[in-house]
Structure 1
Amino acid sequence: MEAVADRKIAPFNGPVETGMRAVVCLHACFPNELDIQRLTALDYLIVRTSLLDGPPDLHPSTPIMTPVTQVRRKAVYAALDLMMSRELVERTITEQGIYYRAGEYSSFFVDALSTSYAQQMLSRARWIADYFAAYDDEAFESLMTDLLDDWVAEFQDENAGVE
């Protein structure tokens, strides 16, 4: 019992929660494939849509709003691994890099999400997909740099976090 009580709990950043956000984002962006930089950014923005003058934030404000990109990126990688093991996410390796897209069972998964929270998350994912539909990588990185000062380093190191 003590071991459980001593663990730090991150209710929104575990592999299941982060994976759910990834699947929902990839589903909303389908058939487009996204790289880890964009997925990491969308993982943050799906709960902070007000940064883009969009719908109200899905999660309440916290004193520290800037994402810790290295931690978030590792969480996204772990989540993607989990979701790939369930065929909810597919990975493609090309000469340009590694990309992810909604997997074979992602539609069934997303359609089964019925809670108010999940529906709000899906709505925001669709809004974000529409918002960024015309953004190329350069425009996306430029916006992220403007929004989040410390995001630049994460985008410059394409191999960070690859194991």
Structure 2
Amino acid sequence: MMKNKFYSKRNINVFNTPIEIGLRALIILNELSGESIDLNRLVIYDYLVTHSSDFNEGMNSLHPPSPHRSGELIIKRKIMQEGINLMYSKELLDIEYTKDGIYYKANQLSSFFIGYLDSTYALNLMKFSKMVIQRFKYYSDKELSLFVKVNIPKWGSEFTKESLVRGDI
């Protein structure tokens, strides 16, 4: 068997990596038109952008449904922070330190960089980000957290009944 000289043993994962989640965060921040948000709101927005059918049953989500996907709200927090740090290291976003905490904001380089993204996924991500922001931008942090708390038991639960039928439990 011939070895591929272009293959390396380095990590080649692309899904749920800091670069993927960092790029999504950058697009979400850019759609906020200069407003800054904290990590908690950014993680929630990222979840709602990728799983839009969880709050709007009439539309398809950007990502396919998966069982217990609501756990992403907890798991992705660390990776989101790594993604933000990566985007910040490339000067693609700004960090604001305030008395209320740490906030993230798109800058001029953000929109220039995002302007080069023209894949169907990136364009849909921009569209879904706009929609999520329009829907939730007037929610206070407390109202947004309550929305998540009330709805989180439903997100991904459609697979619970399926596992009963298959006998997975």
TM-score w.r.t. the length of structure 2 is 0.79
Q: Is contact 1:55-1:124 (8 Å) kept?
A: no
**Change beyond 3 A, Cα 1:26–1:36:** same
Shift of 1:3: 4.7
Aligned-pair identity (%): 29
Q: Post-superposition, which runs of at least 4 consecutive aligned residues in structure 1 deviate over 4 A?
A: 1-4
2:27 maps to a residue whose letter is V
- Count of equivalent residues: 146
Matched, 1:115 2:97: no
Stretches of structure 2 that go unaligned for 5 or more consecutive residues are 1-6, 154-169
Equivalences for residues 3-152 of structure 1 within 5 A:
3-4=9-10, 9=13, 11-53=14-56, 55-149=59-153
**Aligned Cα RMSD in Å?**
1.9
Q: SS in structure 1 opposite 2:65?
A: coil
Corresponding letter in the other structure for 1:15: P
Q: CA deviation at 1:2?
A: 8.8
Q: 2:62 aligns to what SS in structure 1?
A: coil
Distance 2:87 2:12 in 1: 23
Which AA in structure 2 matches 1:12?
F
Structure 1, unpaired ranges of 5+: 150-163
User: AA paired with 1:77?
Assistant: Q
Shift of 1:111: 1.4
Find the aligned partners of 1:112 and 1:68 in 2 and give their Cα distance: 28
Q: What TM-score, normalized by structure 1, do the two folds share?
A: 0.82
Change (3 A) 1:146 1:79: same
